[in-house]
Structure 1
Amino acid sequence: MNKVLLMGRLTRDPDVRYSQGENSTAIARYTLAVDRRVRRTEGSAQDQQTADFIGCVAFGKSAEFAEKYLHQGTKICIEGRIQTGSYTNKDGQKVYTTDIVVENQEFAESKASAGNSGSSAQSYSQNASANDGFMSIADGVEDDGLPFN
């Protein structure tokens, strides 16, 4: 199974391009800064913290969403898969790539929280149907069928 869940902040605004042809598709590329804790070393009172910078690519509606709502500093959660590839650069050297292909993305903080940190995130997610960031549950679904009772 190839499944990735990440939470981090965009390092810059997404780079969005459109494919050529009749059925042009939006392609968004962005980098997430994802915090990583490093265990305490002897003599250190606290855990050290660093970040990994992970390249992400979104296609179609997800890319259009990124273009419209995601900006540098926005804290998001993404779900996707790892995709590797390679190409030969202009110097003739083989370069290996690793990207996360985004299948789902949503905001990880409210607009009010983002405003306190200087970000311009929206207060709803890509999949949310209401302004409060929660998805509607269809009528007739019993509470005992939900996993968080």
Structure 2
Amino acid sequence: MINRVILVGRLTRDPELRYTQSGVAVARFTLAVDRNFVNQQGEREADFINIVTWRALAERCATYLKKGSLAGVDGRLRTGKYENQEGRTVYTTEVVADDVRFLEPKSRSESMASGFGGGSAPGIGGGSYGRGKPADDPFADDGQPIDISDDDLPF
């Protein structure tokens, strides 16, 4: 049997980190994943998918992900049900994440404070791409074409 889910989306809120009675970390967050089509009003809709992470991955997600962060999730679908206080059966669906990839660098303000390429979180590309660019980047987009001769090309 195959039960595999791969998602890319943005967090709708900061991850909520808790610990079980035995001390195992568990983090929960919701990922907004855009649909590949627009509705009749021309707007793109999204699905809001509950994600659960465990142990060290849960602690990393709680530390490095925030509301609005772009993340890739690889995991498995889990369904369940319980009876609420009114006696009604409530069905649940969530993704239990085996791997979470942080798909964008730290925000510009965090990058400026820590210096480019320094203090980068695991899974987050440190360095100078994304939102901020250091002043000494020779390939920074200044709106002008880059002058490259055929002699400079390796092929």
Counterpart of 2:66 in structure 1 is 71
Separation (CA, whole Å) in 2 of partners of 1:48 and 1:115: 29
Separation (CA, whole Å) in 2 of partners of 1:40 and 1:16: 35
Counterpart of 1:142 in structure 2 is none
Instruction: Among all aligned residue pairs of Structure 1 and Structure 2, give the percentage whose two residues are the same amino acid.
Output: 41
Partner amino acid, structure 2, of 1:31: T
Alpha-carbon distance, 1:67 to partner: 1.2
Counterpart of 2:82 in structure 1 is 87
Task: Please tell me whether Structure 1 or Structure 2 has the larger radius of gyration of its CA atoms.
Answer: 2
Q: What TM-score, normalized by structure 1, do the two folds share?
A: 0.69
1:104 corresponds to 2:99 = yes
Partner amino acid, structure 2, of 1:71: K
Alignment map for 1:1-149 (pairs within 5 Å): 1-21=2-22, 24-38=23-37, 48-111=43-106, 114-115=107-108, 125-126=122-123, 131=126
8 A contact 2:39–2:45 mirrored in 1: no
Query: 1:63-110, CA deviations, whole angstroms, 9 ceiling, x for partnerless residues?
Result: 011111111010000100000000000000000000000000011223
Structure 2 segments unaligned to the other structure (5+ residues): 110-118, 128-155
8 A contact 2:105–2:126 mirrored in 1: no
8 A contact 1:17–1:26 mirrored in 2: yes
Aligned residue pair count: 117
Counterpart of 2:135 in structure 1 is none
Once superposed, which parts of structure 1, at least 4 consecutive aligned residues long, lie more than 3 Å away?
122-126
Separation (CA, whole Å) in 2 of partners of 1:39 and 1:90: 38
Residues 4 and 125 (structure 1), Cα distance of their counterparts in 2 relative to 1, 3 Å cut: farther
Separation (CA, whole Å) in 2 of partners of 1:9 and 1:2: 22
Separation (CA, whole Å) in 1 of partners of 2:98 and 2:58: 10
Separation (CA, whole Å) in 1 of partners of 2:58 and 2:85: 29
